[in-house]
Amino acid sequence: MITANDIKTKGVACFEQALINQPETVITVRGKERYVVMTVQQYHYLREMELEAALMETKQDVLQGRVTKSTVDEHIAEMFDR
């Protein structure tokens, strides 16, 4: 964990030190967890997993018939007619 005071006194160096042995770390402000800092590699990995999950969910929707086919105009009209 990194405190807000660590950031003030050590700058970016405290991030580098905290991320040597782990892909992410928490920043605390006044003793409460407020932010997460991670390596770019970890960010890309999490983003890829998020996209994979969305793709799997979409494929399940198609398989279960939870889709409709319409034009863009029809879709917009449906959205605003609610």
**Domain boundaries along the sequence of the chain:** 2-38, 41-80
CA 69 to the chain's CA centroid = 30
Token pair 């863009």 is found at 72
pTM of the model: 0.72
- Name residue 46's amino acid: L
Q: Are strands 24-29 and 32-38 parallel, antiparallel or unpaired?
A: antiparallel
State phi, psi for 70 to the nearest 5 degrees.
-155, 165
- State both tokens at 41: 């590699």
69 is written with which tokens? 């086919």
One digit per residue, pLDDT tens: the chain, 82 residues? 999 999 999 999 999 999 999 999 999 999 999 999 999 999 999 999 999 999 999 999 999 999 989 999 999 998 998 7
